[in-house]
Structure 1
Amino acid sequence: MTEPNETGLKTGTPKNIAPIMFGLMLSLFLANLDQTIVATCLSAIAHDLSGWELLPWIISAYLVTSTATTPIYGRLSDLYGRRLVLLTSIAIFVLASALCALANTMPLLIAARVLQGIGGGGLRSITQVVIADIIPPRNRGKYQGYMSTTFLISTALGPVLGGFFAEHLSWQWAFWINLPLGALAFVVINRQLRALKIPTKRQSIDWAGAILILAAAVPLLFGISQVEEAGGWLNQHVLVPIALGFVATAVLIFVELRVASPMLPMRLFSNKIFTLGNIALFAPSMVMTALIIIIPLYYQIVLKRPADTAGLQLIALTGGMAVGSFIVGSCIAKFGRARIFPIIGALVAAGVCLLIAREGFGPSIAFDVACTILLGASLGWQINPLLVIVQNGLEIRDIGTGVSGMTFFRSLAGAFGVAMFSTFLIASLSGGAMRVPGYEKLGSNPGIGLLRSDIASLFGADQQTAFQRVLENAFSSVFVLSAALCLITAVVVLIIPARKLRADSGKL
């Protein structure tokens, strides 16, 4: 038997780790499922609630609030304990899910999604913090693999469930499903985390810092979410909120340097491992989130495959990520080192992306599956070890705030990646399309026009062939961009200070 660590839990024994992991994985599953399950219900929601013009806000409202609140939850859990804050997050999430299902107008649904995002931010943040509390860094890679698998399963399952509910039941079931799952998570977390110590010394809460974190994150995320709709980055609907976000960030830094117990301690950024680790983590998080959207589009738009086939072929990518995460987690536990693995993963991912850019998908099913599995595995070899590296570099007093900050930056990277890759793709499509005679038939935005499924009837055979080459070249350029970002990850990881992973979870 192992001795209890300073969190109050015995670590390393399957008997008391397994049920805790089940509760944490269920909590994370809830938060991530709600990001994707709604995607295939959007048209049904807009039809029932007559709110097509507000449709993007159903996604954005949840994404913005769940991302912006993650660093706040970390600090609150340092002050009031992980169990209480996680249970509160589950309760908020479940209540908001019921309000979403009961909403009879689009504004009410969006308001409920804002509340749901507030709860989801705690679910995503505190689950990672508890793992950092109870699992030694040397063994943490394996358990991060479980969490990565949970993320990938929820990402892949969400659109399938949402489409089933919208087609055979009603879109409200995309929210009702959270009630039994949330109740089960609440019971398991309440029982299993009782042994976690509750902080005895309470400090005052930096409410000014909390408000400024929201004031900085919300405009930034809103601006990023508007990029595709605004047609690019150089638009007032994008630049104004991003500028406001940067101003609020400057004020946040000024305030947090002067308060006794800051919500986001600036000393975290003087820690080279934390700062460089998050910079390195930003790029593969962008690539992973963007490619989960880009690859199905490639299959549907370039190869003309049906949506259900494209969704099934995405399993090769997400499955590869899960397998890669498990393998690298076991390697980290065996060798006690983590820094070499994201370098290898980044170089392999860059090579695979360049191969796809050159050959394209479609030569054979075997080629497509092999490339996407290897690409997913190499992304897992980057993200999973970097999570361990950042956590291992934190002081114990900063675990809650630091891990939540890391979760925040990962979420921000995902949002930024989708906006960046979508804009890059559409710009490449527009530039290529405008070199084809007769492109004016595509409309005011040729790039978006090329994504339509009915353009074949507008053009002759020669033009269709030319536009097909434009599509292939534009998607190839996206994979070149992915390769470049992966190479940046490898370079940044090389300059992260090497530190042997701790074999205990309580002391540096």
Structure 2
Amino acid sequence: MSEPTERDPLIQNAQLQQTLPGSATAPPPTEELGSSPKHLGPLEISRTTRYGILAGIWIATFLSSMNTTLVATLLPTISSEFQRSHQASWLGTSYLLATCTFTPLYGRLCNVMGRRGANQLAVALAGLGTLACGLSGNMEMLIVARFLGGMGGGGAFTTSTIITSDMYSIRSRGLAQGIASVFNSLGMGLGGPIGGLISDWLGWRWAFLLQMPLFLFSFLFTSWHLHYVTPGKIKRKIDVLKRIDYGGSLTLLGAVGSCLVFLSLRYNGEQPWSDPLVITSLALSVVFAVAFVVIELYFAPEPVLAPFLLKQKVPVLVGISNFLVANCNFAIQYFYPMWFQTVLLTSASVAGLHVLPNSMAVSVGSLFAGWMMHKTGKYKMINLIFGICPFIGAVLVSTMREDSNPVHQWIGIVPLGFGNSVVLQTMLIALLAHLPRDAMAVGTGFGQLFRGVGQVGGVAISSAIFQSSLDRELRRRIDTPDADELIKNIRHSARFVAELPPDLQRKARDSYAVGLRAVFITAACSTLLAYIARLPIPDKDLEHSPRKQAPSGAQNDSQAPTPSQSKPVTPSIPGTPVSELANPAELRRPTLQAMHAGKRSRRLSTYESADSVMDMEDDRIGGSARR
């Protein structure tokens, strides 16, 4: 062997050697030198890889958020084309019903299929549903397509939150989720304006079809970059699939779906209380709701609504807040553009543009809340100060008149969007900060479940209030011989209002104004109750600096982090210290395993035994993010 020269490296295969505690160097790992490098943990990946992952999941959340409100400005156009204006609310509720029902499952699927597999399943379903919407030939097919899109849209939100939580500490997560909320908020806020503009220029179908390239980009970004691995124990596929709560999901779907059918038949379809379908749908809703509770409490191996969270104050209060905030948000999001189209008789594009200031306010609010939590490590004071803004915004929206000044009509909704974005952002961090570290996935699904039910309720309940008030006002104002037929046409086609003679048009516009005002006042009451519900939630330091080591003999299960958790990484948020990403303090948070030690109970969705924190992974499906 030749003697080394000054040009030879002092340490051969430096990249393959590791430093061990208490020793200078260690021999190369036992893996074959020619094999592919092992997969990295979520805190070990490079900044470029992290940005690639974020680009993929944030494109998907943007599109899914946009699709929740896209139909708000398309409702008059679509329902008038199919002559089904009284069924128009189903275009919103079918999407939100699927989101509400299937969103909690993605917390489990992230452990079953891996982060990448669950996210790509959600993106594929959302893309197929959106494509089917653009190709629908009747209202029934469009409603089914919206349901299919909602099955994936809800999953995009949950998987995005879980993936982001993997890659950031609890304190840096506030800023990261704030940036994520910008895309979420932009999609939700731009859905109305984009839908209205495309509808006026190209037709409503293109509002769906033009999204397909972006869905493809999202899928490709995650395929290329999302390959990190979280700790876990391999399980057989059949064992993993048996632990999914099929009964809870089906009964939840039945309960919410039957309630929507009841509201649609009774208030939108004008069926009397004595109608057998009305009675049956109401009865089924109650039966399915009771069955859901029984299954979750006593039978489900992996409950959709984890019972242990219902026994804790913070998750319950966050759930109530999420429900009421979502109820307010979607009631106004879906009916605010209609006010301009039916009361002021503007075009769909102009009505959509009135939502644009709200989307900008939502984005600013999300960034503001994330930045404030990142800088202060607190969330309660931010919530107390800015949490009242949604109530102020809802009151301003409910007091709009035809002769209101332009500032009121364009800016009145801004406090609503800004305040609600702050609330949702701080409540997410409050929930995660009070949960064990291995309950992040199930906790995220828990919060999304209440938010999803609130979204469905916001559209369905407000639609019932609106249709009931509109029918009453029209019958009070119109007393011509053909009043019944005229009222039916006005309710079934919003565009018909612009075609009426001046005297009837005035009555119809006033009736729409009264019905919409009832919706806005209900939304204001909802957001005020949400503010009151959040008041008892305690503050908690969002620490990111290492705490003092516990005394010898007082170690807990989280004092031995895995290599992927303990290895320093390059921060991917500008200005974020390395110590905030590799967070020793967060690793010492209690675990579900410790909380339930010694208790005989059903397995929860994130642990099974002392051998592993996350044990629902199947290597053949993809682990947490394996190829």
8 Å contact kept, 2:433–2:542: yes
Distance apart, 1:492 and its partner CA: 0.8
Cα pair distance change 1:251/1:478, threshold 3 Å:
closer
Q: Which amino acid aligns with 2:534?
A: V
Q: Is the 1:433–1:439 contact (alpha carbons within 8 Å) kept by the matching residues of 2?
A: no
CA–CA distance in 1 between the matches of 2:302 and 2:241?
Answer: 8
**Counterpart amino acid of residue 124 in structure 2:** A
Is 1:252 aligned to 2:252, yes or no? no
Name the CA shift for 1:83/1:421 in 2 (closer, same or farther; >3 Å). same
Query: Cα–Cα, structure 1 residues 58 and 490, in superposed 2: closer, same or farther, change >3 Å?
Result: closer
Q: Which amino acid aligns with 1:231?
A: Y
Structure 1 CA distance, aligned partners of 2:366 and 2:102? 27
| Gapped regions of structure 2 (runs ≥ 5) | 1-39, 545-582, 590-627
* Pair 1:192-2:232 in alignment: no
Q: Is the CA contact (8 Å cut-off) linking 2:392 and 2:416 kept in structure 1?
A: no
Residue 77 in structure 1 maps to residue 110 in structure 2: yes
Aligned to 1:457: 501
- Which stretch of structure 1 is more off in the superposition, 313-322 or 97-106? 97-106
Give the superposition deviation at 1:222.
4.9
Using the alignment, how far apart are the partners of 2:143 and 2:526 within structure 1?
34
Which residue number in structure 1 is paired with residue 170 of structure 2? Answer: 137
Give the structure 2 partner of residue 21 of structure 1.
54
Partner of 1:277 in structure 2? 318
Q: Is the 8 A contact 2:89 2:459 kept in 1?
A: no
- TM-score, structure 1 length as denominator? 0.82
Backbone CA RMSD of aligned residues: 4.0
Deviation at 1:438, TM superposition (A): 3.3
Deviation per residue, 1:122-145 (Å, 9 max, x gap): 222211222233233333333333
Instruction: Determine if contact 2:126/2:152 at 8 Å carries over to the other structure.
Output: yes
Matches within 5 A, 1:219-368: 219-224=255-260, 227-228=263-264, 230-231=266-267, 235=273, 237=277, 240-241=280-281, 243-258=283-298, 261-264=301-304, 265-358=306-399, 360=401, 362-368=403-409
Alpha-carbon separation, structure 1, partners of 2:279 and 2:180: 35
Q: Which has the larger displacement, 117-126 or 162-171?
A: 162-171
Alpha-carbon distance in 2 for matches of 1:467, 1:162: 25
Amino acid at match of 2:521: V
Contact 2:45–2:228 at 8 Å: present in 1 too?
A: no
Q: Shift of the alpha carbon at 1:428?
A: 3.6
Candidates 113, 116, 121, aligned match of 1:88? 121
How do 1:102-117 and structure 2 match up within 5 A? 113-117=146-150
CA contact (8 A) 1:64 1:218 kept: no
Q: Which moved more, 1:342-351 or 1:56-65?
A: 56-65
Q: Is the 8 A contact 1:93 1:117 kept in 2?
A: yes
Asked whether the 8 Å contact 1:225–1:419 carries over to 2, the reply is no
Equivalent position of 2:96 in the other structure? 63
Task: Find the residue that maps to 2:497 and give its secondary structure.
Answer: coil
- Listed one character per residue, the Cα deviations across residues 352-399 of structure 1 (whole Å, up to 9, x for unaligned) are 433454564743212333322223212222222112212222222221
SS at the partner of 1:9? coil
Question: 1:93-172 to 2 correspondence within 5 Å?
Answer: 93-95=126-128, 97=130, 113-159=146-192, 161-162=194-195
Distance 1:243 1:327, change over 3 A: farther
Structure-2 separation of matches of 1:412 and 1:255: 18
Report the equivalent of 1:4. Answer: none
Given that residues 317 and 533 in structure 2 are in contact (C-alpha distance below 8 angstroms), is that contact kept between their aligned partners in structure 1?
A: yes
Q: Deviations over 1:5-41 (max 9, x none)?
A: xx92228996554333222211112323334446666
Letter in 2 for 1:147: A
- Which residue is equivalent to 2:624? none
| Residue 492 of structure 1, aligned match among 533, 538, 542 | 533
CA contact (8 A) 1:216 1:244 kept: no
What secondary structure does 2:539 align onto? coil
TM-score under structure 2 normalisation? 0.68
Q: How big is the shift at 1:243?
A: 4.0
Structure with the bigger RCO (C-alpha within 8 Å, sep 6+) is: 2
Q: Is the 8 A contact 1:360 1:476 kept in 2?
A: no
- Selected match of 2:64 from 31, 37, 56: 31
Shift of 1:220: 0.9
In the TM superposition, residue 279 of structure 1 has moved relative to its aligned partner by: 0.1
The answer to whether the 8 A contact 2:358-2:416 is kept is yes
- Percent of paired sites with the same residue: 22
1:173–1:354 Cα change, 3 Å:
closer
Letter matched to residue 326 of structure 2: S
Equivalent position SS for 1:394: coil
How big is the shift at 1:471? 5.2
Aligned residues: 500
Q: Distance in 1 between matches of 2:81 and 2:407?
A: 42
Residues 10 and 475 of structure 1: is their aligned pair in 2 closer, same or farther, counting only changes over 3 Å? same
CA shift for structure 1 position 338: 1.4
Residues 156 and 315 in structure 1, CA contact (< 8 A), matched pair in contact too: yes
- The higher radius of gyration belongs to 2
Counterpart contact for 2:255–2:287, Cα < 8 Å: no
Aligned CA distance change for structure 1 residues 457 and 45 (closer, same or farther; 3 Å): closer
Superposed, which structure 2 residues align to 1:423-438 within 5 Å? 423-433=464-474, 435-436=476-477, 438=479
Q: CA deviation at 1:224?
A: 2.4
CA spacing shift, 1:165–1:237, aligned 2, 3 Å: farther
Contact 2:197–2:348 under 8 Å retained in 1: no
Query: Any gaps of 5 or more consecutive residues in structure 1?
Result: 1-6
Correspondence for 1:388 among 425, 429, 446: 429
- CA, structure 1 residues 96+483, in 2 after alignment: closer, same or farther (shift >3 Å)? closer
* Amino acid across the alignment from 1:374: P
Q: Which amino acid aligns with 2:497?
A: S
Superposed displacement of residue 307, structure 1? 2.9
1:418-472: CA deviations, max 9, x gaps? 1222322343444455554738865379699486515862737xx94x7766655
Which residue of structure 2 lines up, in the alignment, with residue 3 of structure 1? none
More helix by share: 1
Query: Structure 1 CA distance, aligned partners of 2:131 and 2:293?
Result: 37
